[in-house]
Amino acid sequence: MADLINYYAFKKDEWKDLYKLQTVPLTKDSLKQIKAFNDEISMQDVRDVYVPIVHLLDLCTQSFNEWQKTKTHFLSKEDRKVPFIIGISGSVAVGKSTTARLLEVLLSRYFEDKKIQLITTDGFLYNSAELNRRHIMDRKGFPESYDMKSLINFLNEVKSGKSNVLAPVYSHDVYDIIPDKFDVIDQPDVLIIEGINTLQLPSNQQIYVSDFTDFSIYIDADDALIEKWYLERFEKLMDTAFQKPSNYYYEMAHKDRQKAIQKAKEVWQEINLPNLLENIKPTRTRADLIIHKSDNHIIDQIFLRKY
């Protein structure tokens, strides 16, 4: 990876040695509840990779909080609670959701005195009616399909310490924003924000999502592997979530299976892969930490930004 010259590169065995107290506050059953559909993760990876990451994040938050105190004293202002925001990015189907939920649980269990919250940027997609009005339904997930102004305003309110900030909720069941339903973000110590656009620099914005994040993680894998995981997940969903009458893909799940799989391949080739190559992967080198996966979602390398 020639573009990662400003990163320290670690094999998993090297990374795990950076933090020796590798106790894991998770059971195998609780880990199963965290895993995204079709996203494999092992207790070994939790111990070897994610526990050291949590320790690193603890050091980062301590430094962050000290800097906030120093800055407010310098400015002769009252101390205020400023949340530490972690951004998690990467392709569709690469395992962002699992990483986000796992970090939320690990941080909450390691640091019981801290309030940890999690949202996804999916909630800031335009709803289907608006996407259709703009004639960009086939660009869903691309930068122009997000209400970036609302997302930036949301992050600004959270970072400013405002209580009870509302984030819209997206449903993968109905494939749309749920009207009048919100997640409430109430002055957390740490906010994890997960989404394909957390590292992007849209050309029509002066302020970006990454301006509000204090540590960013990119989940990486070879394009062919991600496509394989995407199609495997789609096939499993055909037999599970898509069987619900309320699901957007219900009719597709009850018609010709091979046609449905072919449609999924077309969606990958025409939408998800171009979005990955044009808008997601180019942001990889903006991340503080890159987690690289190999077959079966097994982590094989970790890259930490040098400066």
* Binding site, annotated residues for ATP: 90-97
Distance (Å, whole) CA 220 – CA 155:
25
Radius of gyration over every alpha carbon of the chain, rounded to an integer in angstroms? 20
Q: Is the dihedral of CA 9, 13, 14, 18 positive or negative?
A: positive
Cβ atoms of residues 148 and 221 within 8 Å:
no
Distance (Å, whole) CA 3 – CA 9:
12
**Residue ranges of the binding site:** 90-97
| SS3 state of residue 211 | helix
Alpha-carbon distances, residue 198 vs 124, 211, 284 (angstroms): 12, 10, 11
Q: Which residues lie closer than 8 Å to 19 by C-beta, 6 or more apart?
A: 51, 52, 55, 56
